[in-house]
Amino acid sequence: MNPSLWRRLLAEFIGTALLVTAVVGSGIMAGTLSPGDVGVQLLENSVATALALGALILTFGPVSGAHFNPVVSAADWLLGRATGTGLSARDLGAYVVAQTAGAIGGSMLAGLMFQLPAVAFSTKARTGGHLWLGEVVATAGLLLLIFALARSGRAAVAPAAVGAYIGAAYWFTSSTSFANPAVTVGRAFTDTFAGIAPASVPGFVAAQIVGLIVATGLLHLLYPSAGTAADDVTVSRAEPQPVKEHQQ
């Protein structure tokens, strides 16, 4: 049985907030430690984000599935329709609200930790077809990974695999792999290394939705029964069995 909705929403809110705190905070620290060297800053930012994401999935996965991402939740809902699994439409809407609110809160928290304004809208424009294509690739690849792991019974390795994918996608996509509408919105609230101008947000979110459509289509072709595993995305919610003591 899944935990109650309020517990899952709290986990999604806190998890997404801490994820954005890691993204923004490590970007600020990278700018402080490696001023003028964008390549090193990106390395520091990507490593911190990948490690934090893996840890957060381990922490909150057993409660909410550790989506932290509206496109993951939307894919969970879409793929589960045929089999009666995954999120309901009501839960999907609630997840998206909790994730987006958490992302904004996480950006504000990062700013306050580094003695910066809680809200300073980014001036960093990120627009253009090449960046939107990068977001399509990053988002589709992330969803394929998550649901392929769940469908093949390997959801337990999702923390390491998802963290590794996001860390790598920072480097192999032109957009540095936001791949997350909630995180994209949250990053608009910080005028630091990780920021994105509010005017650039709609283009990124639209590209992420396209990535969602591409990924669900490919999952139907590659894993026709992927929806049966929607309840296990991204970490199995089954309660652990108590360890039995060895009989003497």
Q: What is the pLDDT of residues 81-123, one digit of tens each?
A: 878 888 999 999 999 999 999 999 999 999 999 999 999 999 9
Q: To the nearest whole number, what is the mean pLDDT of the chain?
A: 92
Q: What is the pLDDT of residues 178-224, one digit of tens each?
A: 999 999 999 999 999 999 999 999 999 999 999 999 999 999 999 98
pTM for the structure as a whole: 0.92
Alpha carbon 9 to chain centroid, angstroms: 15
List all residues 6 or more positions away from 37 whose beta carbon is below 8 Å from its beta carbon.
none
From the list 194, 173, 174, the residue with the least C-alpha distance to 185 is 194
What is the residue type of 236? Answer: S
Inter-residue contact 220 to 148 (CB < 8 Å): no
- Between CA 203 and CA 28 the distance in angstroms is 24
Domains in the chain (CATH in brackets) are: 5-227 (1.20.1080.10)
Question: In the predicted model, what is the mean pLDDT of residues 132-150?
Answer: 97
Over the range 207-233, which residues count as b (16 or more CB within 10 Å of their CB) and which as e?
Answer: bbbbbbbbbbebbeeebeebbbbbbbb
From the list 9, 19, 11, the residue with the least C-alpha distance to 97 is 9
pLDDT (0 to 100) of residue 232: 75
Going by pLDDT thresholds of 50, 70 and 90, the confidence category of residue 1 is: low
List all residues 6 or more positions away from 244 whose beta carbon is below 8 Å from its beta carbon.
none
